[in-house]
Structure formats: structure tokens, C-alpha cells
Structure 1
Amino acid sequence: MIKYPLLDFPMTVGVTSPSSGVKHYLHSILRDAIKAMNHRGHRVIETPNIWKQNKVRSDSPIKRAEEFMNLFNNDDISIVIPPWGGDLAIEILEYINYESLKTKWIMGYSDISLLLLAITLKTGIATAHGTNFIDMRGSKMDVTTEMWTKVLSTAMYDEVTQYSSEEFQSEWDFNNPTLYVFNFSEKTSWKILGRNTEVSGRLLGGCIDVIRHLIGTEYGNIDKFQREFINSEPILWYFENCSLSPVELKRSIVQMKLAGWFKNCSGILFGRTSVDIAKNDYTIKDVYAEIYEELGLPIIYDIDCGHLPPQMTLINGAWAEVKVVKNKGTLTQKFI
């Protein structure tokens, strides 16, 4: 059975950097995020590594794992939210004591999604793929992003529904943030390959750039997870692509298929991606179409997930029901 943390209020947020810290010239936006969280009535406890960055890391792998474990197992901490992602969260996996992890929320995306998926697969503890701490520094939150507190305060056996956004941000502009931080400019439109407008299953996924590296390791044992925690129920995968070219994305999907990740699968959701560079006219949409044909699974793409915000809060391990009608999406997650 999946173990679901429960977000209580008032909230104490633990901020640590399992991957990248924040360089000195960006400390101001980190301070803004802490102030914004305080203004909302929440306490923030931080580890020293969030203020450091050297050669793509906040600290050594052992120190990053230690600071993460200290926060995660601190009874005063309600939830752990890293500032943002990075590149080498994978280095800390072997230094985490999974057996001692408490049932507590950790939320993030990008490189953090590798840590989220590893924790859920190893322990059965639900983890939250959602907004970064840095991205909550605005005086307001958009409707999609602000759902994170409602989702994470959903009780066991209850359910919560989220709806696709109206608009999304196509480019980052750190120098000109809005009240919501994001600069929304494009109309959101969820798209379907196949006849299925509804799909359901146990949610698992993350940034495909990094979670693909769990294949063949003890941290990516999908068969064991299905047997031990979800009674062999089908998985509804969600992937967001930060920087993989069409051929790199296709190679990754084929590797997942060969590793058995799609043996008991109900469908695949793909987040929006800014990757639009074709190779010999081979595009991301060609990859989606081939996956649909080769795997025979319903494909829904351009969902609210990933590096083109806003994004929904997706719970690894939750039972999810996804519906798309006229390019509008509905996601209901059941904590069962």
C-alpha cells in the first residue's frame, strides 16, 4: 500500500539542495521566496547548502544526503521543498537510508524528480512532482500552482481534482517576474493520440532526462514496486522533457520498454517541452506518434507538467484518472 503524508497547518517548510544550490548573484530570489513563504504564515528552516554552488553541486554527495536526511526526519518539518533542480541528484541516492525515512512530503521537479521517483519506488512513500521553492516567491500564485497545498493536504482515501491551466509560460524571464512570477503568454491545449479521452492508473514519472538513469539500478525496480506496493495495478507514466532531442527521447523510451517499464502500463502523459529542434525532419511529435503505434498505449501530451509552467501537483503512487475534452484536461487523484 502507498503511504501518503498529510500536510498539516501551520506549516514548517524545510529547504535543502539535494542537487544544485543557488549562486550568490541569485540569493535575492531565494530570500524573496523565504519572505513570501513567511508572509503566507509558514515557517522556513533551511540548510546551509542552499546558499552554496560549486561545479554544479551545492555540496559533496555525502553532505547533500546528510542535510536532506536531517530535514526529512526532523519532526518539526512539515514538507521538504528544494530551491530548484540541477544536474547530479543521482549522486546522493546511495547515501540515503531509505528504511529510516519518515512518511513526509517532498516536492519538486527537474533533477529533483529523480530523487522523488527513487524514494517512492524504494519505500512506497508518495512524493510530489510540483513547483520549486524558488517559483513560489511571488506575492500571488496562479490557480494551477496554488493547488499544491490542497493536493498535499488530501487525507488517505480521499480524492482531489485539478484542471488544466488557461495559459502557460513559453520562456523564462527572471528579470521581469509578474506577481505570479511566471510570464504567461501561450494558450494551454492538451492533446491526445488515440481514441481514448480517459485514462487511469498509478502515477509515476518525472523529468525523463534524469529518471531514465534509474533503469537497471535498485532505485528503478518497477516490477518490485508494483508487486509490493500497488498490487500489480497498471502504471500511468508521466514524463517531462527538459532538453532531450527527438532522437534522445526516442532512445530513452525504447530503453524503458526494453527494461520492462511499460509491461503493465495504462498510458503515457507528456508535459510541455521547449525542445523543438528536429533532426532530418524527425520531431518530438513524430516520437509521440511512434510510441503510440509501437506500444499501443493512449498518449496525452502538452499537459501542465515541467519546465514550461504552471504545473499541476502530480503524486507518485496515487491512483489517477485523466480526462481530456476539447483540449481541456481534468486530473483526479485518489489517495488509495
Structure 2
Amino acid sequence: MIKYPSLEKNSTIGVTAPSSGVPGELHKLLHTASDSLKEKGYNITFGDTVWSQNKAKSASAKKRAEEFNQMMLDENIDLIIPPWGGELLIEAIEHIDFDNLNSKWVLGYSDVSLLLLAITLKTGIATAHGTNLVDLRGEYSDQTTAKWENVLSAKHGESIVQHSSEKYQKEWDHDNPTPHIFNLTEQTYWKSIDGNNVKIHGRLLGGCIDVIRHLIGTPYGEVNNFKEKHINGESVVWFLENCELSTTDLRRSLIQMKLAGWFENCAGIMFGRSPANTPVGNYMVEDVYKELSEELQIPIIYDIDCGHVPPQITFINGAYADIELTNGKGTVRQTFK
């Protein structure tokens, strides 16, 4: 059974950096995000790790884990949102106290998705893959990003519907900031392998493939054990996004996931838009998707709103999802059951 936290009004957000912290010259981003969230009625508690960054991490692995553990135990903190992702969260994973985590939302993506997936697989506590803290610093959020509050406020037994974005951001334009942070200029169009409309149903699991692949073969990546213990063997729908991998590295990673049993009883896979997916020779990312679809005999949807090319739908690890792709538009219904 999946345990779903629930976000209440006037909640306190704990901000800790289990991966990268924020260097001094960018502390203004934290203050602006804090001000924006306070205007919405939230209280903000910052951990020490948030304010420092050295040698590709906010602090030592033990300090990062200890601060996260403390915030998960603190009854005055209702939700945890790291400032952003990073590179070396995996160093801290063995020091996370999975046996004593209170049920509360953890929201983020990129390197943080490794922690999110590990929590859900180990404990059955649902986790939220979506926006990070610094991207909530705008005067308001675009409709897709803003849905994080509705999703996290849903109660056990309820369903929440999200739709694909109207437009997405192709590249950052820091010289021309917008009230909602992102410069949404490109028409969003979700795609399938054969160009047909698609329906997929199952339990959601996923994250940034660059990092979650490193859970394979560890005590924190036991997907089949999770299926038996928490979802009664139901089928899984994977949502994945590629931050920096070439097409061949992506292919190797997906094959490793397949060989590790992660795609057993898989109902379908969704891939986010990617700034990477660089071709190797004439080997394109569409080739990767097509080959995987044929091997697993499952539908694959790609260029969805997930990952490093914003905006993002808020996907809940562990939730039951009904996903529909119709003429380039996507609908995701998540049910907390």
C-alpha cells in the first residue's frame, strides 16, 4: 500500500540541500523564492546546507543526510523542497534513515529524483517529482508548474488531473526575465513511436535516468520488492528524463534497467524533453525509443513535460496513473489509492 502525504494550508516548507547547495552570489534566488512562497501563506525553514557549495556538493554526505533526516522527523515541517538538484546526492543515500521517515512530501527533480525514487521503493511513501525551490521565485507560476500545490493537496482516494503544457522553454534567457521565471516560447507536442494516440495505465515510478540508474543492484533500487510489498504486483508506468546522456549512453542505461528487471510488468514508458539526447553517428534518440518499444512490446510516449526542459507536470512516485495522448496533447490523471 502506498502512503500519501497531504499538503495543508499554511504549511511549513523545509529547505535542505541533499545534493548541491547555493553559492553566495546566488543566495538572492533563495530569498526571492522564500518571499514568493511566504506571500502564498507558507512558512519557510532553511537548513544550513542550503547556503554552502564546495567540491560539487553542499556539505559532507553525513551532514546532508543528517539534516534531511532531522527535517523528515521534525513535526513542525510539513513539506521538503531542496533548492535544486546537483551531482552527488548518491553519496548521502546510505546515511538516510529510511526506517524512521515520517510521511511528508518531498518535491524536486534532477539529482533529487534519486532520493525520491529510493524513498518510495524502500518505504512505500509517495514522493513528488516536479519543480524545485528556486523555480518558484516568480511573481506567479505558469499553469503547468503551479499545479504542484493542487497535486500535493489531494487526499487519499482522490484523483487529480494535469494537462500537457501549451508551450515550453527551449533555452534560458536570463537577460529577459519573466514574471513566471520560464521563457515559454515553443509549442508543446507530445509524441508516440508510431504517431498514434496512446492510453497507458499503471503505477508511476521514475526520475532522471542519469542518476536513478545508479540505484540498480543496490538496496535502494529493489523495484520488484516494491511491487510485491506496496502495489500488489500491479504494472508500472515509468517516467524518465535525460539530462546529459548521449543516445548510446541512454541506450546502455535502458538496457541495464531492462536486464535488472525494472521493466518487468511495465505498461509503458514516458520520456521527457531533453537538452541532451545527442546523436552518435546517425543513431538518434527516436531509434532508442523505437528499439525499446519493440523489445518490451509496450507503448512509449516522448517529449512530455518532465525534467530539465520546463515546465513540468508533477508526477507522484507510487500513484496510480491514467495517461492519454491524443493528437499531441497529454492528460495525466493520478489517483491516490
Alignment TM-score > 0.5, same fold = yes
Task: Show the counterpart of 1:19.
Answer: 19
Residues 94-133 of structure 1 mapped to structure 2, 5 A cutoff: 94-133=94-133
Per the TM alignment, residue 295 of structure 1 is displaced from its structure 2 partner at its CA by 1.3
Counterpart for residue 309 of structure 1: 310
Structure 2 equivalent of residue 60 of structure 1 = 60
Deviations 1:4-53 (A, max 9, x none): 00111111110000000001111111111111111212110000110100
What is the SS of the residue equivalent to 2:67?
A: helix
Shift of 1:188: 0.3
- Residue matched to 1:231: 232
- Of the structure 1 ranges 34-43 and 242-251, higher mean CA displacement relative to structure 2 is found in 34-43
Q: Describe the superposition over 1:31-83 as per-residue Cα deviations: whole angstroms up to 9, x where unpaired.
A: 11111111212110000110100011000000000111111111111100000
Output one character per residue of 1:241-300: Cα deviation in whole Å (capped at 9) or x when no partner.
001100000000000011011111100000000124211111111111111111111000
Note the C-alpha offset of 1:174: 3.6
Alignment of 1:31-110 (within 5 A): 31-110=31-110
Aligned pairs for 1:65-214 within 5 A: 65-194=65-194, 195=196, 197-214=198-215
What is the TM-score with the length of structure 2 in the denominator? 0.98
Q: Secondary structure at the match of 2:255?
A: helix
Question: What is the correspondence of 1:270-309 to structure 2 with a 5 Å cutoff?
Answer: 270-309=271-310
Question: What does residue 248 of structure 2 align with?
Answer: 247
Question: How far off its partner does 1:126 sit?
Answer: 0.1
Partner of 1:215: 216
Which runs of no fewer than 5 residues in structure 1 stay unpaired? none
The whole-number CA distance in structure 2 between the counterparts of 1:47 and 1:160 is 31
Q: Distance in 1 between matches of 2:207 and 2:177?
A: 26
- TM-score (ref. length: structure 1): 0.98
Q: What is the identity percentage for the equivalent residue pairs of Structure 1 and Structure 2?
A: 53
Question: Aligned to 2:224, what secondary structure does the other structure show?
Answer: helix
Whole-Å separation in 2 of the counterparts to 1:309 and 1:156? 28
Q: Alpha carbon RMSD of aligned pairs, Å? A: 0.9
Q: Secondary structure at the match of 1:255?
A: helix
Secondary structure, in 3 states, of the residue corresponding to 1:204? strand
The Cα shift of 1:324 comes to: 0.8
- Residues 196/297 of structure 1: CA separation in 2 closer, same or farther (3 Å cut): farther
Pairwise CA distance, 1:176: 3.2
Structure 2 regions of 5+ residues with no counterpart?
A: none
1:264 corresponds to: 265
- Contact 1:201/1:236 (8 A) holds in 2: yes
Check whether the contact 2:245–2:277 (CA below 8 A) recurs between aligned residues.
no
Q: 1:41 and 1:177 mapped to 2: Cα distance?
A: 24
The question of whether the paired residues in 2 share the 8 Å contact of 1:110 and 1:207 is answered with: yes
After superposition, give the CA deviation of every residue in 1:112-142 in whole Å (9 maximum; x if it has no partner): 0000000000000000000000000000110
Query: 1:139-186 deviations in whole A, cap 9, x for unaligned?
Result: 011000110010001000110000000000011234432100001110
What SS class does the counterpart of residue 256 from structure 1 fall into? helix
Equivalent AA in structure 1 for residue 22 of structure 2: V
Aligned length: 336
Which one is further off, 75-84 or 189-198? 189-198
Q: Distance in 1 between matches of 2:304 and 2:57?
A: 30
Shifted more, 3-12 versus 268-277: the winner is 268-277
SS at match of 1:144: helix
Conserved 8 A contact 1:196-1:298? no
Distance in 1 between residues matched to 2:84 and 2:252, nearest whole Å: 27
